Structure formats: structure tokens, C-alpha cells
Amino acid sequence: MKFAATLPASDIERAKAWYSSVLHLEPTEITESGDVWYEIGGTRLMLYPSQFAGTNQATAVNIRVDDVEVSVAELKARGAVFESYDFGDAFRTVDGIATSATGEKMAWLKDPEGNLVSIGAH
């Protein structure tokens, strides 16, 4: 059994450009229907044309990294803008990074289609 994450895109070309320039991902396949496939750490990610892009208010996909702070700095250098959250005692972001009570670090950004992408440590 294999799994794939799927994200809607109202403008596939804009989304492809962002995933290339910010996340440094290049498509492994583009279908006749316009679906764009990527391989990330053994998992497939598909962008597909949809008028409903950006309507999900929750995290759509999580990318696990070795070091959140280093990854956030690299992504900011490529133009990524991270979300700011303040959930009181639970957590709040500082310079784009939240630290949970257990010490786990997380950060969130939106792709140009409005999909919420999280960055988290292993």
C-alpha cells in the first residue's frame, strides 16, 4: 500500500513555480489532466487543479525536517512567509516558530494556493 498527499491548486503554474523556488521540489510526473506529482522522502505529493484551493483552514500537509530553525531560515531566504499564531499557554509562534510544552518545534506557511503547510522536526 502506498500513500500520497493531495493539495488543490487554483493556478497550477503558480503552484509549480512556488514549490520549485521555495521548497526546491521538481515534478516527477505531470499528467494529461494537469495533476503535478512530486516525490518527497518516499512519499508522493500531488497538486491537482481545483476551484476549492485554500478553503481548508487546517494543516494540509506536514514536512518533517531534521532542524526546524535551519529549515525556516532557509525557506525565509527563498521568500517563504510564515504564519503567526498565539494560542496562549498551548503555544505561540516567535519568528515563525512555535515550541510545544514537550519541546517540539513547528512552523506553518501557506503555499500560493492557500494550502497550509507545516514544517516539523523528526
pLDDT at 20: 96
Grade residue 16 by pLDDT with cuts at 50, 70 and 90.
Answer: very high
**Residue range 46-67: mean pLDDT, rounded:** 92
pLDDT of 15 higher than 80: yes
Burial classification of residue 15, based on how many CB atoms lie within 10 Å of its CB (0-12 exposed, 13-18 middle, 19 or more buried): buried
Q: What is the tens place of the pLDDT at every residue in 18-44?
A: 999 999 999 999 999 999 999 988 899
Q: Which range is least confidently modeled, 68-72, 75-79, 89-93?
A: 89-93
Cell numbers representing residue 68 in the block: 526546524
Grade residue 121 by pLDDT with cuts at 50, 70 and 90.
Answer: confident
pTM: 0.88
CATH topology of domain 4-121: 2,3-Dihydroxybiphenyl 1,2-Dioxygenase; domain 1 (3.10.180)
Query: What is the CA angle 28-33-34, rounded to 5?
Result: 50
Is residue 71 within 8 Å of 31, Cβ to Cβ? no
Provide the pairing of β-strand 43-49 with 36-40.
antiparallel
Q: Which range is least confidently modeled, 67-71, 99-103, 108-112, 115-119?
A: 99-103
